[in-house]
A and B are shown apart, each in its own frame.
Chain A
């Protein structure tokens, strides 16, 4: 069992949890993920690790409530436990001294980006970060990202904080102002990663992205997470989750994420019937994801 040691609301429907999981904390490296299951009837969902604390034996997960499992989890409190956390899974990020690294995070994607940005900075890279969200209240880890960045730009779609616009606008502006980047690391919603990659390809900036497709086991067994990278089929769980963003077929990946869309709706409806609570807002959000 994995106890919730700490819980913090970061924004609407976005929650940070620290779970007791000393084995996972010990060997985890930036870029890796875990699979969690919150009850005996539960599904296994992949979540990228945002941080670990080896002395506490804890792992940090930042989770957006979008489906039945994540909503149920949000009902749990410090002291409660979940039965299963498996990991750390996936290949770690290749951290090396590259020079100037551009870290681009969108929405909840800033969570897995943070440990990578930190590791890049710790190794002596110059780090410029762009974090974006639809609106100010959806921005997460602003302070932590600032602490590991030499320069940070914030963008919001509605202009409620930072620059009004998309992260791609901020990238263009930085490049136009004369900044040169040796590497871009981009994590966020698939559609954002797709457009960042289209842009960085044009700008000639090598870009790695972290993918979070549907998976069951996370050890290469089910093949549900297959993505096309450079024309070849790869398993995000064992070959990834990070890939050369310029080679990823994002359209296929986004289509595949819709496989269980109707099921997700049905699960939520069932859950709301069970608990009697209204989840319509969440239902709509589930759709937009």
Chain B
């Protein structure tokens, strides 16, 4: 096939559940490609000699490689290529912001002057992972010689699971310490079922267990055992405890009944399966009108969850305009399709309650955009005298999270930034304590699943070198030497 012909093929639209129907269930919204659809979509890839898409991928997946295999219909080869770089393709195919990463770099998208028309790399990745799961067979890598080195992974989220998967393959003895009763971190407590079915995460965790990774649940490092003890009893430690401290707005009325953090709302709905209450035991507040404050993916998740919990109206209140929203376009699009209303350029200044202490509305002030601020986005400025009350019985605060302070607070040996993030060497993930590495949101603040996995991937490589060489200072230089071999 000639490149010109490939360019002519339109993007293959993935079928989705009808918006009106899907807000009545928690099933996944996209229905997946058929093998035929995937093979057509794969034909759109030009197989560039210098594949920019790989540069856009935080874990450096051989994207043209797996797409080429799909085009040939060799899905087994495709999943093999994919898994060399990404242990959690079913997750990443669904939740990575491809439009800012691989697909933003895709030549097709550039030629069409629209990243939305790039090769649907994420959807193809999802297809392969789902294909493998449906086969029910998982290719396990060949047995490796055990090194006898003990590694503790603190936190079973995307970063920790990536490190665990990589280090077990190098032959180390890996244990993941997870505070919850299930592994997956934000993948199980945060991202809703309709965006990432929990069975998929469970399969990925079981795969790691099959490889030999041990999981200790309900184990809160820093409480169940002191951090120092875990450090002492292991040859290396990776801290990936995430950004689990919800930020609140600090406005009057924030402790009224019916006001809750996105973390609490989503954890109840997802991890604790409150959508099945009272068949399951964890309750969740249901409102007729639900306001979600924030403009990121988490805010979209909350607003869409609220609809599924039976809200008559679900509104997003965001202080900037749509162009400044950090949410992925796809999430925004899905939310709009489902009937989420957007009150943009609005900011809560006060929450008002009834005489039982339950929320009855939010006083909002209208905003206008001023000059760009430190983030490069135009700063929202309140318009004086524009306050008004928006009635609602539930308000979810989805304005971000700070790094979880539990480990830094109980282990002062670790150097942290003034906002509580653990300070690491960016290349290796090394912290200020020899043998201790960190990555993901505990370093980045609230970021994305794939960035956390990229961190995990880099840290795992450095940890392996550290475990085999015992070298701590200038570990980065040692990595440089073996980089050519790895890349």
What residues of chain B lie closer than 8 Å to A216, measured between beta carbons? 264, 267-268, 272, 282
Is B254 in the interface zone, CB < 8 Å from A?
yes
* Cα-based distance from A27 to B220 in the complex (angstroms): 12
- A43's partner among B255, B272, B285 (CB-CB below 8 A) is B272
Is B223 in the interface zone, CB < 8 Å from A?
yes
24 contacts across the A-B interface (CB closer than 8 A): A27-B226, A41-B273, A43-B280, A69-B281, A84-B217, A85-B218, A86-B218, A87-B224, A88-B223, A88-B224, A219-B223, A220-B404, A221-B245, A221-B246, A221-B263, A223-B263, A227-B255, A252-B255, A252-B357, A256-B255, A259-B258, A260-B283, A267-B283, A271-B278
Pairwise interchain contact A238-B406, C-beta atoms closer than 8 A: yes
What residues of chain B lie closer than 8 Å to A255, measured between beta carbons? 257, 356-357
* Cα-based distance from A233 to B261 in the complex (angstroms): 13
A228-251: which residues lie under 8 A (CB-CB) from chain B?
Answer: 228, 233, 238
B124-166 Cβ-contact flags toward A at 8 Å (1 or 0): 0000000000000000000000000000000000000000000
Which residue on B lies nearest to A27, using beta carbons? B225
Is A44 in the interface zone, CB < 8 Å from B?
yes
Pairwise interchain contact A221-B220, C-beta atoms closer than 8 A: no
Interface centre among A44, A220, A222, A258 (most CB of B within 10 A): A222
* Cα-based distance from A68 to B248 in the complex (angstroms): 31
Is B115 in the interface zone, CB < 8 Å from A?
no
Instruction: Determine the interface band of chain B, counting residues with CB < 8 A from chain A.
Output: 35 or more
- B224's partner among A27, A238, A270 (CB-CB below 8 A) is A27
Please give me the 8 A-B residue pairs with the lowest Cβ-Cβ distance, nearest first. Answer: A263-B283, A222-B264, A86-B218, A255-B357, A270-B278, A43-B281, A221-B244, A43-B282
CB distance from A106 to the nearest CB of B (A): 23
Pairwise interchain contact B181-A263, C-beta atoms closer than 8 A: no
Interface centre among B225, B250, B254, B283 (most CB of A within 10 A): B283
CB distance from A81 to the nearest CB of B (A): 13
Is B170 in the interface zone, CB < 8 Å from A?
no
B255-292: which residues lie under 8 A (CB-CB) from chain A?
Answer: 255, 257-258, 260-261, 263-264, 267-268, 272-273, 276-285
* Cα-based distance from A263 to B258 in the complex (angstroms): 13
Is B184 in the interface zone, CB < 8 Å from A?
no
B275-317: which residues lie under 8 A (CB-CB) from chain A?
Answer: 276-285
A83-120: which residues lie under 8 A (CB-CB) from chain B?
Answer: 83-89
* Cα-based distance from A270 to B283 in the complex (angstroms): 13
Is A37 in the interface zone, CB < 8 Å from B?
yes
Pairwise interchain contact B217-A222, C-beta atoms closer than 8 A: no
CB distance from B430 to the nearest CB of A (A): 25
Is B435 in the interface zone, CB < 8 Å from A?
no
Known A41-B279, A221-B189, A223-B248; further 6 A-B contacts with Cβ < 8 A: A27-B225, A43-B280, A87-B218, A217-B244, A238-B405, A263-B278
Q: Given contacts A24-B224, A84-B181, A86-B220, is CB(A219)–CB(B263) below 8 Å?
A: no
Pairwise interchain contact B263-A23, C-beta atoms closer than 8 A: no
Is A136 in the interface zone, CB < 8 Å from B?
no
Is B52 in the interface zone, CB < 8 Å from A?
no
List residues of chain A with CB under 8 Å of any chain B CB: 23-24, 26-27, 37, 39, 41-44, 68-69, 83-89, 216-217, 219-224, 226-228, 233, 238, 252, 255-256, 258-260, 263-264, 266-267, 269-271
Interface centre among B218, B356, B404, B406 (most CB of A within 10 A): B218
* Cα-based distance from A39 to B404 in the complex (angstroms): 27
CB distance from A198 to the nearest CB of B (A): 20
* Cα-based distance from A266 to B267 in the complex (angstroms): 20
* Cα-based distance from A260 to B255 in the complex (angstroms): 15
CB distance from A183 to the nearest CB of B (A): 25
Pairwise interchain contact B282-A217, C-beta atoms closer than 8 A: no
Pairwise interchain contact B277-A223, C-beta atoms closer than 8 A: no
Pairwise interchain contact B264-A264, C-beta atoms closer than 8 A: no
Which residue on A lies nearest to B217, using beta carbons? A84
* Cα-based distance from A43 to B276 in the complex (angstroms): 12
What residues of chain A lie closer than 8 Å to B179, measured between beta carbons? 86, 217, 219
CB distance from A193 to the nearest CB of B (A): 18
* Cα-based distance from A199 to B272 in the complex (angstroms): 41
Is B472 in the interface zone, CB < 8 Å from A?
no
CB distance from B294 to the nearest CB of A (A): 14
What residues of chain A lie closer than 8 Å to B207, measured between beta carbons? none
Q: Given contacts A223-B261, A224-B264, A252-B255, is CB(A267)–CB(B281) below 8 Å?
A: yes
Pairwise interchain contact B267-A42, C-beta atoms closer than 8 A: no
Pairwise interchain contact B261-A83, C-beta atoms closer than 8 A: no
* Cα-based distance from A219 to B244 in the complex (angstroms): 8
What residues of chain B lie closer than 8 Å to A39, measured between beta carbons? 281
Which residue on A lies nearest to B250, using beta carbons? A233
Interface centre among B189, B248, B254, B264 (most CB of A within 10 A): B264
Which residue on A lies nearest to B254, using beta carbons? A233
Which residue on B lies nearest to A38, using beta carbons? B281
What residues of chain B lie closer than 8 Å to A88, measured between beta carbons? 223-224
Pairwise interchain contact B277-A263, C-beta atoms closer than 8 A: yes
What residues of chain A lie closer than 8 Å to B217, measured between beta carbons? 84
What residues of chain B lie closer than 8 Å to A260, measured between beta carbons? 283, 285
CB distance from B187 to the nearest CB of A (A): 14
What residues of chain B lie closer than 8 Å to A223, measured between beta carbons? 246, 248, 260-261, 263-264
What residues of chain B lie closer than 8 Å to A227, measured between beta carbons? 255
Q: Given contacts A27-B225, A44-B272, A219-B406, is CB(A87)–CB(B220) below 8 Å?
A: yes
What residues of chain B lie closer than 8 Å to A83, measured between beta carbons? 181
* Cα-based distance from A228 to B225 in the complex (angstroms): 30
What residues of chain A lie closer than 8 Å to B356, measured between beta carbons? 255, 258
What residues of chain A lie closer than 8 Å to B224, measured between beta carbons? 23-24, 27, 86-88
Interface centre among A227, A233, A263, A271 (most CB of B within 10 A): A263
Pairwise interchain contact B263-A222, C-beta atoms closer than 8 A: yes
* Cα-based distance from A252 to B256 in the complex (angstroms): 8
CB distance from B181 to the nearest CB of A (A): 5
Q: Given contacts A27-B225, A255-B257, A259-B257, is CB(A266)–CB(B272) below 8 Å?
A: no
Which residue on A lies nearest to B283, using beta carbons? A263
Pairwise interchain contact A220-B257, C-beta atoms closer than 8 A: no
* Cα-based distance from A217 to B284 in the complex (angstroms): 14
* Cα-based distance from A238 to B257 in the complex (angstroms): 21
Which residue on B lies nearest to A267, using beta carbons? B278
Pairwise interchain contact A217-B267, C-beta atoms closer than 8 A: yes
